[in-house]
Structures are given as C-alpha cells and as structure tokens.
C-alpha cells in the first residue's frame, strides 16, 4: 500500500520532510492558505489543498500518516477545531501522527537544562497556546488510540532563514543579555528526525529536536560575520535596546535543551551538530 502523508500547515519544516518522502515514492498532500503557495507546492511534487476553505474529510480518509504544524491561536488548535471528528473516525488508518510543538512549552530555566520529562511551565503567550494544543491532541489520542508523537522544536534555521542577509546589509544586531542562551535546529535535522520516527513509530513519544550547542544569539551573529569576512555588528545591551515587543519576547526564556532521545531512540546522527556547521553549509550552498 502506498504511503500517504497529509500535512496540515505545509510550511518550512514540512516541506523539508516532504522532499525526502517524495524521493521515496510517497504521496504528499499539503495544505496552504493561498493559491500562490499552492502553485509552489505543486511544483515541488506536493498535492496542494487550500485550507481553510476545503472539505478535508476525503484527504483524512486517504492518509496513512498525518503531520500537523499549523499553529494554534487563542481559540485553540485549528485542525482539531474543524476536523477532530473526522480524524477520530479514521484513527485506525493512521500508522503515525506527528504534532510539531516548541521547546517554548518548558518556559524559562535561567540557562539550565531541560529534557522531555521536564514539567511544562511556559511564560509566553505562544508557549501557553502550544501547551493547550498539545493537551488537546493527547486527549484525542487517548480517546481513539491515535498513534501520536510530539516534537518540540528549538529555533529553526536553514536555507533562506540564516543571518547572512542581515549581516551583509548591516541590519544584524548583536543583542546581549547576560546569561541568555538559545537552542536551535537546522531544518534538515528536523526532517531527518521526523522521517526516523515515521520509520520507527512509538505512539506517545515526545522528542526534543535541537542541536548539541545552546548558545547566546550574539555569538551566532558574530560567527556569521566572521564567515563573511565582515566587521562584527556592535553589541547592544538588551536592557536599553530598541526592540519590538515580539522581538523582546524571544529573550523572555533561557534554557539548554537536551536531545539525547532522538539519538538514543531514533538513531539520529545530526547533520549539523552546532550552528557553526549549519552556517558553513548555508554559505557553501549560496556559492554552489
């Protein structure tokens, strides 16, 4: 039987996964909000569906695998809000269900370590929305034996999402908040983690997806400038820096995220163990 992935919110991470799956003969159905994006997905070999606005029931019935990366809002998870009953009805068809969450669910740990057993204590609005969405998916999974897997992603970077453009244009900022560290992950490592889980499902599994080196954000900008041979952007004190509320909110939490489970259980060997390898590869791809 042909494997069919239905991807709700077929964005950056999901597209990285679908490139792998399409090469292996999968059928991939991805939702998007606009006709323009639908055309781009079709060019990649994905079957695009405009959603919201389309009856997803036939696609849910056909799918063997389900990936959800559509973000929740104040009303909750948009997929469950509209298609909970249809997913429950066809739960027995799914070999694997993946929900893309965020390490923001752990909240602030003042630079300390967290793992998948750490309690959820978000401090941001986005983190609270993800905790509620995770809970809603867990509730459905228990209700209808859905083979659910949760993936808590660190800060995502990759092609088109690196710091080089801002460094080149002179708009990059080295905001310094003492003790602040972030974990991050290359999008291709997200894709390989998801593919590894699909090949080795463990319903109920929770996985942190990040690289091996949590680092201050100013170090990443500095390394990008060094790779480009450009001057380091000047440091700015977080306390006095002119920042939007959204940008400032990213500094509300500081933690180091453990990734042992994706290695020990799924056998993942990171393509980009730190931002250094990741940035070098992005720059090399630009020149190829």
What's this model's pTM, rounded to 2 decimal places? 0.97
Report yes or no on 279 lying in a domain.
no
Report yes or no on 238 lying in a domain.
no
pLDDT of residue 76: 96
Report yes or no on 240 lying in a domain.
no
Report yes or no on 39 lying in a domain.
yes
How far from 236 is each of 66, 173, 216, CA to CA, in Å?
Answer: 43, 7, 13
pLDDT of residue 192: 98
List the beta bridge partners of residue 153. 102, 209
Report yes or no on 33 lying in a domain.
yes
Q: What is the CATH number of the domain that holds 43?
A: 3.40.50.720
Report yes or no on 219 lying in a domain.
no
Total domains in the chain come to 1
- One digit per residue, the tens of pLDDT, for the chain of length 288 reads 789 999 999 999 999 999 999 999 999 999 999 999 999 999 999 999 999 999 999 999 999 999 999 999 999 999 999 999 999 999 999 999 999 999 999 999 999 999 999 999 999 999 999 999 999 999 999 999 999 999 999 999 999 998 999 999 999 999 999 999 999 999 999 999 999 999 999 999 999 999 999 999 999 999 999 999 999 999 999 999 999 988 888 899 999 999 999 999 999 999 999 999 999 999 999 875
Nearest to 236 by CA among 255, 254, 223, 218: 218
pLDDT of residue 288: 53
pLDDT of residue 40: 97
Domain range for 112 is 4-158+185-211+256-271
Measured from the Cβ of residue 279, the count of other Cβ atoms closer than 10 Å reads 22
Report yes or no on 225 lying in a domain.
no
**Long-range contacts of 276-280, Cβ-Cβ distance < 8 Å, separation of 24 or more:** 276/213, 276/223, 278/157, 278/158, 278/186, 278/211, 279/162, 279/163, 279/164, 279/220, 279/223, 279/224, 279/227, 280/227
List the beta bridge partners of residue 152. 101, 208
| Separation between Cα atoms, residue 61 and residue 215, nearest integer Å | 43
Report yes or no on 74 lying in a domain.
yes
């Amino acid at each position: 039987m042909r494997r069919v992935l239905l991807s709700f919110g077929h964005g950056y991470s999901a597209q990285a996964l679908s490139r792998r799956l399409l090469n292996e003969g999968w059928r991939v159905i991805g939702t998007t909000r606009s006709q323009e994006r639908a055309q781009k997905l079709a060019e990649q070999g994905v079957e695009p569906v405009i959603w919201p606005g389309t009856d997803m029931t036939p696609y849910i019935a056909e799918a063997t695998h389900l990936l959800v990366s559509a973000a929740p809002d104040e009303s909750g998870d948009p997929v469950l809000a509209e298609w909970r009953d249809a997913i429950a009805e066809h739960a027995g068809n799914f070999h694997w269900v993946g929900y893309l969450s965020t390490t923001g669910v752990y909240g602030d740990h003042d630079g300390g370590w967290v793992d998948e057993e750490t309690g959820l204590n978000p401090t941001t609005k986005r983190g609270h929305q993800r905790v509620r969405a995770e809970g809603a998916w867990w509730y459905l999974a228990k209700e209808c034996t859905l083979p659910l897997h949760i993936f808590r992603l660190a800060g995502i970077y990759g092609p088109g999402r690196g710091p080089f453009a801002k460094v080149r244009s002179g708009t990059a900022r080295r905001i310094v908040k003492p003790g602040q560290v972030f974990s991050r992950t290359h999008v291709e490592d997200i894709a390989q983690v998801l593919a590894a889980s699909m090949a080795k499902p463990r319903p109920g599994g929770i996985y942190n997806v990040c690289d091996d080196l949590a680092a201050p954000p100013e170090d990443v900008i500095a390394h990008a400038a060094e790779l480009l041979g450009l001057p380091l952007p000047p440091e700015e004190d977080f306390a006095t820096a002119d920042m939007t509320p959204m940008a400032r909110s990213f500094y509300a939490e500081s933690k180091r995220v453990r990734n042992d489970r994706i290695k020990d259980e799924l056998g993942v060997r990171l393509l980009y163990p730190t931002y250094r390898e990741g940035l070098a590869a992005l720059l090399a791809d630009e020149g190829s």
